[in-house]
Amino acid sequence: MADQQLVKKLEKASLDTKLRLLDLCHQTVIHIGGDLSVCDMMTAIWQYAIHYDVKNPRWEGRDRFVLSKGHAAAVTSFSQAAIGCYQVEDIYKEYATDFGRFGMHSCNLANPYVDVSTGSLGHGLPVAAGMAAALKRKKSASRVYCVVGDGECGEGSMWEAALFAHHYKLGNLVVFADRNGLSFDGPTEQYMALEPFADKWRSFGWNVLEIDGHDMGQIIDTIDALPGVDFDRPTIVVGRTVKGHGVSFMENNVSWHAGCVKEDDWKRAKAELTEAYERKWGAN
């Protein structure tokens, strides 16, 4: 079971990122609903799991990260800033500007801490699988972490990549799926049914782990239990999440797929998130 002080530390880190996301959303339009749904898992990936040298983003021995869920670029940027890749203030200053490293989609031409440019959904996992195959051929000890959204799992490119990863025994590939059940159009089950979601991945030969994607203890325990890179199957962590998690008027509300939050709602949203954390852990 995860150490409770570690859980508290990472939950505070996730809260800090969520508050920063709301500050950015008060400034401009971002994909706030999906940023909030994946934030807890993203915090654990970047502040606990990943093997990374912030001073050398092209270090050959690093773990790789691919954001297949391209709309979660803002939460990725803040997660990287939390470990020192750049200053948080730079994100506010440069976001969605002509000269900026940060925007609605990650771009490796502008940002050296981005391994793969993403935006067109369904394309990140195929690239991540290719990267994992190359690392395996090199007998590298590095992993490839890939975050996918459930909406993009209705695309054929995702399942071709899943077949490829199983066929080539890519045990160094770890996917985190943000299973929040909502896409831009509405419920995934209405527009492209995915259930039984976890069983589909099992049928493709993957090692499947199902968790509450907002339970930091479960996320940590799952990371600790990941098989080694020489395992003969890729792993997917299916995180059951809530779009807009923690903000009452955003939760499960397709209108908050993306948007800019106004003054009163911005203050209310930040207060709700902070109060929820303090009820659990106290104000300190």
pLDDT at 191: 87
Block means of pLDDT (10 residues each) for the chain, 284 residues, are 95 98 97 97 98 96 97 96 96 88 91 92 95 98 97 95 98 98 89 95 98 98 97 98 97 93 97 97 82
- 99: Cβ–Cβ under 8 A, 6 or more apart, which residues? none
Distance CA 237, CA 167 (A): 19
What values do phi and psi take at 250, rounded to 5? -100, -25
pLDDT at 98: 78
Distance CA 169, CA 175 (A): 14
- 284: Cβ–Cβ under 8 A, 6 or more apart, which residues? none
Please tell me whether the peptide bond between 196 and the residue prior to it is cis, using omega within 30 degrees of 0.
yes
Alpha-carbon dihedral of residues 273, 274, 278, 283, nearest 10 degrees? 170
Q: What is the DSSP letter of 229?
A: T
Q: Give the residue from 196, 187, 177, 149 showing the smallest Cα distance to 239.
A: 177
Distance CA 167, CA 124 (A): 18
Q: Give the residue from 92, 115, 118 showing the smallest Cα distance to 28.
A: 92
- 231: Cβ–Cβ under 8 A, 6 or more apart, which residues? 171, 207
pLDDT at 284: 67
Distance CA 79, CA 106 (A): 13
Distance CA 127, CA 125 (A): 5
Name the residue with tokens 């920063």: 20
- Provide the token pair at 111: 């940002």
| DSSP H helices in 138-249 | 156-167, 188-191, 197-203, 216-224
pLDDT at 7: 98
Alpha-carbon dihedral of residues 32, 107, 85, 152, nearest 10 degrees? 50
pLDDT at 31: 95
pLDDT at 269: 98
The SS3 of residue 239 is strand
Distance CA 62, CA 142 (A): 6
Specify the CATH class of 4-281 in words. alpha beta
Burial of 237 (0-12, 13-18, 19+ CB in 10 A): buried
Q: Give the residue from 214, 220, 254, 251 showing the smallest Cα distance to 15.
A: 214
pTM for the model: 0.96
Distance CA 207, CA 163 (A): 13
